[in-house]
Structure 1
Amino acid sequence: MDTILENASQPLYAVTLLVALIKYPKYYTTPLKYFPILLMYTFLTELLGYFTKHYEVFHISIFSSFIRHNVIIYNIYNLVFFSYFFYVYWSYIDHKKYKKYIIFATIFYLLVSLINPFFQSFKLESQVYSYLAGAFAILICIILFFMEHRNSSKKLDYRFTGIKWISIGLLIFYLGYAPIKASRFYNYTYQLNEYVHIRRIHLSLIVLMYICFIIGFLRMKRKFWI
């Protein structure tokens, strides 16, 4: 089981990207039109992160003294990932008050991202505070999205099918992984051992998220944006 989970991520990224490209005519006029680019970026980021960690020939020169540190790749990726989804939810939501909340959440995330490097090196350490702020902001966006469309089941079955399932996937992942991220930071700070099943839970959350993404693309029915 552990072997399957450890090796499932890369194929899932590839399958999700393939399905997203096949279904692209269904959503090319929606805010999700850039999602395949993000999926490709995710795939390349994970691939680069793997090679820089496990193969010396791929070590980034600025890490010559810290050859196992490749976190800058993921720190940059997180900035792009969260910023994109703030744009997506701001675009999908019509309620003016909710749109303001998303703007506030975005500003909050960006401020934390600017402050975080003063406490943790952007090049050598994972930006934990920034990541948790981004996860919190994304969860707020998802909640606002479902609040706006809670009485619009027919709409969600058509124009919003893709983003609904993507939202479910993100909700599952960040509700589960944000506490893991915080606990790992706590364990690292106080030199505590990680609970044996944490890695399995983390990988399972990734699998569930991408399965939701695939379902969303497969169930898309319309290709126009109103």
Structure 2
Amino acid sequence: MKETDYLYNIRQILLFTLIYYILKKNIQKKVRRKVVDILFTFYLLTLFIEIIFFKNFISNYLPLSYFTGGLVSLLGIMYYAIERLQSKDTTPIQKDLTVWFLMGNLIFWIGYLPVYIILNNYTYFHNDVINNLIVLKKAFIIIQNSIFIFGFIISGKTYKN
């Protein structure tokens, strides 16, 4: 138990809600939007079950709902990518900040989830393996944030009337 676990839990909820909101606003096909709704509902159910039956939101980190949220985000972003590739939108993707944000998260979750599972469930590994996985975990965080920064620089300003 860490005194800041509740802050991680709040950040987790805000992050996955933001990703859901962005996906919901940008996915046009009703079937895909419904799948994203179902996925996010699954995340919320996992979150509530973990809080009600297993963990205290204030004093415990919520690893199951974090994993579920990451997986749900990964699947939702893939739905967005499929739709984006099939759309007739002529806006260059490098100028779309939404694409940069979601692709940064996609790359992050693809690499980070396996490392997260190993670090949280297999403590019997040799210290060198654990240390290498921690370095890998930090590398994925750096890659994700680099994509975000690059996206802010490349995408430029867009104005909506």
Same fold flag (TM > 0.5): yes
Letter in 1 for 2:151: G
Residue 56 (structure 2) aligns with: 121
Separation in 1, partners of 2:79, 2:106: 12
Residue 31 (structure 2) aligns with: 97
- Residue 71 of structure 1 pairs with residue 2 of structure 2: no
Structure 1 residue ranges, 4+ long, deviating more than 6 angstroms after superposition:
none
Separation in 1, partners of 2:155, 2:75: 24
| TM-align CA RMSD | 2.5
Separation in 2, partners of 1:120, 1:98: 32
Q: How many residues align?
A: 159
Shift of 1:225: 4.7
**Percent of aligned positions that are identical:** 24
- Residue 87 of structure 1 pairs with residue 31 of structure 2: no
Question: TM-score, normalised to structure 1's length?
Answer: 0.63
Shift of 1:125: 2.4
Shift of 1:196: 2.1
1:151–1:195 CA distance, 2 compared to 1 (3 A)? same
1:96–1:152 CA distance, 2 compared to 1 (3 A)? closer
1:174–1:210 CA distance, 2 compared to 1 (3 A)? same
1:75-224 maps to which residues of 2 (within 5 A)?
75-117=9-51, 118-152=53-87, 155-157=90-92, 161-187=96-122, 195-221=130-156, 223-224=158-159
Separation in 2, partners of 1:222, 1:155: 17
Separation in 2, partners of 1:123, 1:78: 13
Mapped contact 1:149–1:156 kept (Cα < 8 A):
no
Shift of 1:195: 2.0
Return the structure number with greater relative CO, CA threshold 8 A, min gap 6: 1
Shift of 1:158: 5.7
Stretches of structure 1 lacking an aligned partner (at least 5 in a row)? 1-65
Mapped contact 2:95–2:154 kept (Cα < 8 A):
no
1:137–1:156 CA distance, 2 compared to 1 (3 A)? farther
Shift of 1:147: 0.5
Question: TM-score, normalised to structure 2's length?
Answer: 0.86
Mapped contact 1:72–1:125 kept (Cα < 8 A):
yes
